[in-house]
Amino acid sequence: MGKAPFRTPQHTIRGMFAGVILAAGRSSRMGQPKALLPQTLSADNLVSHLTRLSVAAGLTPVLVVGRAGDSELLSVVERAGANFIVNSNPELGQLSSILVGLETADAAGASAIVVMPVDVPLISTAVVSALVKAAEASAAQIVRASHHGVHGHPVLFKRAVFDELRRADPAIGARAVVRSDPARVVDVEVGEAGVTVDIDTPADYLRAFGREL
pLDDT in tens, 60-94: 999 999 999 999 999 999 999 899 999 999 999 99
Residue 101 domain flag = yes
Residue 7 domain flag = no
Number of domains in the chain: 1
Task: Please report the sign of the dihedral spanned by the C-alpha atoms of residue 202, residue 195, residue 154, residue 122.
Answer: positive
Mean pLDDT of the chain: 92
Amino acid at 211: R
What is the CATH number for 50? Answer: 3.90.550.10
Tens digit of each residue's pLDDT (9 = 90 or more) over 112-148: 999 999 999 999 999 999 999 999 999 999 999 999 9
Cα pseudo-dihedral 156, 34, 64, 139, rounded to 10: 0
Residue 14 has pLDDT above 90, yes or no: no
Q: pLDDT at position 132, please?
A: 96
- The mean pLDDT value for 153-179 works out to 96
Q: pLDDT at position 42, please?
A: 86
Residue 2 domain flag = no
The whole-angstrom distance between residue 51's C-alpha and the CA centroid of its chain comes to 9
- The mean pLDDT value for 164-184 works out to 95
Neighbours of 103 (CB within 10 A): 14
For residue 89, the 8-state DSSP code is -
Q: Distance between CA 49 and CA 208 in Å, rounded? A: 15
Q: Could you tell me the pLDDT band of residue 49, with boundaries at 50, 70 and 90?
A: very high
Strands (E), the chain: 17-22, 38-39, 44-45, 62-67, 83-87, 112-117, 142-147, 150-158, 185-189
Residue 38 domain flag = yes
Residue 190 has pLDDT above 70, yes or no: yes
Residue 3 domain flag = no
Greater model confidence, 186 or 2: 186
Q: Distance between CA 36 and CA 107 in Å, rounded? A: 28
Residue 144 domain flag = yes
Residue 201 domain flag = yes
- Domain range enclosing 192: 17-208
Residue 61 domain flag = yes
